Amino acid sequence: MCTSLTYTSAADHHFFARTMDFPTTTPWRPVFIPRRYHWQTALHESRTTQYAFLGGGRAAADFSTYLMADGINESGITCAELYLPGAAEYAAEPQAGRINLTPQDFINWVLGEHSSLAAVVADLPRVTLVARRWGTDAYVYPFHWILSDRSGQTLVIEPTGGPLKAQLNPAGVLTNTPILATHLQNLNAFLKVPGNEFTGQTVTAAKAYLASGAPLPTGSVPTKRFIHTALRRWGTPPMTTTAASLHQIFHWLAEVSLPYDPDRRDQPNHNYTHYRAIIDISTATYTFISRKSGRLQQMTLTPEMAVHRHYPHAYPAE
């Protein structure tokens, strides 16, 4: 039940941000993955990274691989997974001559093996997503993905049948089911803007709505979180500094975060926000706030790290 957005400041600084909402109690933490890292997919196939990356992840319980929920690689590509129940379609079995991945493997493949969004898009027709559980996870999770880069371009990949393909996301916002096209239709309907496309008219209406002081949609429903975040993102004048941008985006993420209920901790359907994270794409800086501590951690994927660090590193969760 995640919420994500891309954002460009008044200084043309690009950011990617997300809440990580999930029922699992496995600790999520910042993780660095190096170049030439040999990792095992959930299909027990070995792959090797070409590019280092940094993001939020968790270790598999029964084999030596990190599952990444989001991250940025040394070429400036960002990618994050969000839940897409009821719409995602996967192959039942691996297919010969294809790049066979489980949904949980997808981010490692995107960030570890590509230097540009164009390269990812070109490779997508070769990929088959296979319905296999990752490690000891109880389910095959239905995902879609949001990607961005240093240009500020935002793409979404939704495995809803047929060959994988990427689509532009002009709103720069994504939550869970429904698919992006339906989210954009719902946003326009809420703002009483004709048509189903995100346009300048949508932006003008978002600014007018926010300026009116009318209440924003609230609650855990993905459609409401999408509209809430889109109104904040497009109705607010861009910040001029990095510090102000980070402060503002973390505030927006807090508004759509899901509360933790200790009485429901062991229930498999208890989604809550494990962490909030912002990636400064322009500097490859990852800023992470854990639910438990509320402490801000910040680390930068530097060229020196990419060249000289040869082993994965999991930072403290708190």
pLDDT score at 229: 98
- Rounded to 10°, the helix 222-235/200-212 angle is 90
Which residue's structure tokens are 């164009």? 118
Give the predicted TM-score (pTM) of the model. 0.95
Flag whether 93 is in a domain.
yes
pLDDT score at 234: 98
CA nearest 143: which of 196, 180, 88, 186?
Answer: 88
Flag whether 192 is in a domain.
no
What does the alpha-carbon distance between residue 109 and residue 114 come to, in Å, rounded to a whole number? Answer: 8
pLDDT along the chain (318 residues), means of 10: 93 96 80 95 94 92 80 98 95 96 96 98 98 83 96 97 96 97 98 97 98 95 97 97 97 92 74 91 96 89 96 87
Flag whether 131 is in a domain.
yes
Flag whether 148 is in a domain.
yes
pLDDT score at 134: 80
Segments of 23-104 assigned E as strands: 29-33, 38-40, 46-48, 53-59, 66-68, 70-73, 78-83, 99-101
Count of domains observed in the chain: 1
pLDDT score at 17: 98
pLDDT score at 21: 86
User: What residues make up the domain containing 114?
Assistant: 3-177+261-312
Flag whether 162 is in a domain.
yes
pLDDT score at 25: 66
Flag whether 64 is in a domain.
yes
pLDDT score at 62: 64
**CATH code, domain carrying 79:** 3.60.60.10
Flag whether 40 is in a domain.
yes
Q: What tokens were used for 267?
A: 């229930």
